[in-house]
Amino acid sequence: MTKDWSPTQESLDRLLFWLDSDRDKAVGKYERIYLRLITFFSCNGCGEADETLTDITFDRVMKKLDDGQVPNPFIGDKALYFLGFARNVRLEHLRNRIIINNDPPQIDTHRKEVEAFCLEECGKTLEPEEHWLAVEYYRFEKAEKIANRRKLARQFKLTLAGLRTRVHRIRDSLKPCIEECVEKGLNETLSG
C-alpha cells in the first residue's frame, strides 16, 4: 500500500456504496464486518493490536476500491473479501512482531517522554471538542472500547465509519506537529 495514500470521505462513501446501495444497510454491514475483523485478530494472536489491524484492513480495501482494482460487479460475500486482506495484515503483523522480538529490548525512555510531551503540546492546538474526541476515542479496552465508540458516534450524530474518519483526520492533522516537536526535542537533548 502506498505510504502517501490515506482514506478520504469519498473513499468511505465509495466503500459504503460498494457494501450496499442503501446507506443504512451499508453502515450495518460495515459495523458487522468491523466487529468480525476485531474478533478475527483477537482470536488469532493479535489481540493487542486488533483495532489497528482492522483499520489497516479497511484502509487497504478502500484503496483497492479507489484504484478500481475490485471486480465489478463483485460476486460473493464481501465480508470474505475483507477477511482475505485481514489474513495478510495478520501475517505481516506477526512477522514484524517476531523480527522486533528477536532484537534485544531497547527502551528509550527519553524518547517516550519527548513523544508524550509533544503529543500533549500539539494536542493544545486542536479545538477543545476535537481534543476531547481524540482522547475519548482511544479510551478503554475491548468491549468497553466498542461500546464507548458507539456512544461517541451517537453523540456526534455519526456512523462508526464517520467517527473513525473524523478521528483519523484529527490524527493526521497532529502528525506534522508531533514529528517536528519530537525531532526538535531530541536534537536539543543531543546538543545540550
Compute and round to an integer the Cα radius of gyration of the chain.
Answer: 19
Angle at 49 between CA 104 and CA 130, to 5 degrees: 115
Confidence of residue 98 (pLDDT cuts 50, 70, 90): low
Confidence of residue 189 (pLDDT cuts 50, 70, 90): low
- Rounded to 5, what percent of the chain is helix, strand, coil? 75, 0, 25
Whether residue 89 sits in one domain with residue 140: no
Whether residue 21 sits in one domain with residue 91: yes
Domain of 42 in residue numbering reads as 9-102
Whether residue 178 sits in one domain with residue 116: yes
CA dihedral 168, 173, 176, 180 (to 10 degrees): -110
The C-alpha atoms of residue 150 and residue 170 are separated, in whole angstroms, by: 18
Tell whether 148 is covered by a domain: yes
Whether residue 79 sits in one domain with residue 117: no
Q: Above 50 in pLDDT, residue 174?
A: yes
In this structure, of 20-29, 50-59, 100-109, 174-183, the range with the lowest mean pLDDT score is: 100-109
Tell whether 137 is covered by a domain: yes
Tell whether 23 is covered by a domain: yes
The C-alpha atoms of residue 26 and residue 111 are separated, in whole angstroms, by: 42
Phi/psi-derived region of residue 68, left when phi > 0, alpha when psi is between -120 and 50, beta in every other case: left
Among 70, 102, 134, identify where a domain stops.
102
Q: What is the pLDDT of residue 157?
A: 92
Q: What is the pLDDT of residue 115?
A: 79
Whether residue 158 sits in one domain with residue 183: yes
CA dihedral 158, 162, 166, 167 (to 10 degrees): 100
Q: Above 60 in pLDDT, residue 51?
A: yes
Count of other CB atoms within 10 angstroms of residue 14 = 16
Confidence of residue 192 (pLDDT cuts 50, 70, 90): low
Whether residue 69 sits in one domain with residue 32: yes
Tell whether 1 is covered by a domain: no
The C-alpha atoms of residue 122 and residue 131 are separated, in whole angstroms, by: 10
Whether residue 113 sits in one domain with residue 98: no
User: For residue 122, what are the contacts with CB-CB under 8 A and spacing of at least 6?
Assistant: 174, 177, 178, 181
Whether residue 17 sits in one domain with residue 98: yes
Tell whether 3 is covered by a domain: no
Q: Above 70 in pLDDT, residue 107?
A: no
Tell whether 2 is covered by a domain: no
Whether residue 121 sits in one domain with residue 98: no
The C-alpha atoms of residue 7 and residue 165 are separated, in whole angstroms, by: 8
Among 57, 86, 102, identify where a domain stops.
102
Confidence of residue 86 (pLDDT cuts 50, 70, 90): very high
- 29 and 19 Cβ atoms separated by less than 8 Å: yes
What would the mean pLDDT of 124-133 be, rounded to a whole number? 88
Q: Above 90 in pLDDT, residue 1?
A: no
Among 60, 86, 102, identify where a domain stops.
102
Averaged pLDDT of the chain: 84
Q: Is the peptide bond before 73 cis (omega within 30 degrees of 0)?
A: yes
Whether residue 77 sits in one domain with residue 13: yes
In this structure, of 79-88, 104-113, 167-176, the range with the lowest mean pLDDT score is: 104-113
Tell whether 90 is covered by a domain: yes
What is the count of structural domains for the chain? 2
Whether residue 70 sits in one domain with residue 86: yes
3-class secondary structure, 71: coil
What would the mean pLDDT of 86-105 be, rounded to a whole number? 75
Q: What is the pLDDT of residue 65?
A: 92
Whether residue 16 sits in one domain with residue 97: yes
pTM, rounded to two decimals = 0.56
Tell whether 59 is covered by a domain: yes
